[in-house]
Amino acid sequence: MRRSAPAGRRGGGRLRLAVTAMLAGTLLLTAACSGGGDDDKPSWQGGGNGSGAGASQAPSAGPKLSTVAVTSPATDATSVELRSEVKYNSEDPQNTEVTVTDAKGKTVEGTLDKDGNAWRPAEALAWNTKYTVTVKTPAAEGKNNTTTSSFTTMKEPSDLVRVTSFLADGQTVGVGMPLIMKFGKAIPEKYRGEVERRMPVTATPAQEGTWRWISPTEVQYRPKEYWQAGTKVFYKAQLKGVKLGDNAYGRSDLTVDLKIGRKMVMNVSNKTKTMTVEEDGKVIKTIKVSLGKKSTPSASGTMVVMEKAAHTIFDTTDEDPVNGYKTPIDWAQRVTYSGQFIHAAPWSEGVQGRSNVSHGCVNISEALGKWLFDRTLMGDVVTVSGTEEKLKNGDGWTNWNMSWEEYKKGSYLKN
């Protein structure tokens, strides 16, 4: 007969089995919950080299809040120039809004360059005024992402430079008319390029052109070719608060809106002693002329009508007290600073078309002097050819008396 194990021994066996199972479970739990590095992690927790199909990915990050900051002008900056741009940082520039307000809370007009992260005022800001900048991007993660900054513009300086335009709104001028801007004091060379940048010219239809410095106080603009007949021209000087010298600033802005008339060109030939008048490419009149005699020759070159007077007096006695003269003149049209005019000269009508007897002017008859005077505009082109003397650049509006390549050299904006 088989003997049974004692009860104590049977119970002890079951106890050993339970302890063994519990220890094994403890070891598995320890292996799963502890470890010194990635190599100790099971593959299903992203550790070790496991990459089985059952591996899960780490949870993705939530939406990131875009941050903004004003970088220029610095917060609470003072003496800021009137045309300074506002620079900012943004992680979402295409959806960033920029608002600038003055001390009264009025919004300042400006343009936003989202690619360059810059806001630029449409006009000069006011002197000695506090402005507040607000930069904002769309809310993210329930937060309103907005920043503000303030700055104060410079006080009005004592040295302000007056800027004036020779032409005014509403004028109609000839196809050779240069745009002329003058300054109340000399502009040093290092500031001239910035002045040109601040004086944009818009022509409709569009035409290539450039400014050229005639002197430290005067700059003129012409297109590459004569203005197209009927062109609308708009130009502006955005110079208020712009530095025009070491301690000088522009006093104000100005704009001019004008029109180019029909194309009229007067071609004077010393060889034939005639003036051929062309309008829009067609000859409308041929006029007999008398030019300057050998001792006082007319200048050959390309000029424009600068000034018109129906009746005036030529007085040269101040320049030449001995041989000077005072003579009443009708239908005078100035083409040079030095005194070359187109005008009626009834005393030379008998030789007009045959010989030269003037002091350098273009003489025409009384009747044709009025006919021409009634049809010309300031800025109409006059060419004289075949005389003993050449026109000196600068003796009048001689913008067309040089090539385009030569003319461009007078600009401080280098392409």
d(CA 21, CA 19): 5
Strand 160-161 relative to strand 130-140, pairing: unpaired
Q: Give the three-state DSSP class for 220.
A: strand
CA atoms within 13 Å, Cβ hemisphere of 410 = 21
Whether 33 is a known active-site residue: answer no
DSSP symbols for 19-77: HHHHHHHHHHHHHHH--SSGGGS-GGGT-TT---TTPPPPPPP-PPPP-EEEEESPTTE
The DSSP 8-state label assigned to residue 252 in this structure reads -
Tell me the C-alpha to C-alpha distance, in Å, between residue 117 and each of 69, 91, 153, 210: 11, 10, 21, 30
**Is there a contact between 86 and 99 (Cβ–Cβ < 8 Å)?**
no
**Is there a contact between 129 and 156 (Cβ–Cβ < 8 Å)?**
no
**Is there a contact between 276 and 384 (Cβ–Cβ < 8 Å)?**
no
> Of 33, 311, 343, 359, which is the active-site residue?
343
The DSSP 8-state label assigned to residue 281 in this structure reads T
Residue with tokens 């600033």: 249
> Which residues are identified as catalytic?
343, 361
